[in-house]
Amino acid sequence: MTAAVKALIEQAMRLSPEERAEVANALDGLNADAPALSPEDLAAAWRPELDRRREELERGDVQTVDAREAIAGIRARLRSGT
């Protein structure tokens, strides 16, 4: 993730839930004209990222988080606006 994207996300997190929904809908609309990738092309596009994440896990650089805990944490952050 680039610094510009991180900064944009940080700014978006300061918006109200309604404003974040507007931004999300607007961004989703930007992709409407993008050609859909085939399953094979999509898998190939994601392969480097998946390999990188697997390697991080194997080295112990990162730890997994239970999905329910992660979602609960995200929802709490969205509610608090942080």
The predicted pLDDT at position 33 comes to 72
pLDDT digits (tens, 9 = 90+) for 13-64: 899 988 988 888 888 777 767 777 788 988 999 999 999 999 999 999 999 9
Question: How far is residue 19's CA from residue 38's CA, in Å, rounded to a whole number?
Answer: 33
pTM for this one? Answer: 0.47
Residue 9 has pLDDT above 80, yes or no: yes
The per-residue pLDDT for 17 is 87
Rg, Å, the chain Cα set: 16
pLDDT band at 70 (very low <50, low <70, confident <90, very high): very high
Q: Could you state, in order of their start, the residue ranges of all structural domains in the chain?
A: 1-34, 36-82
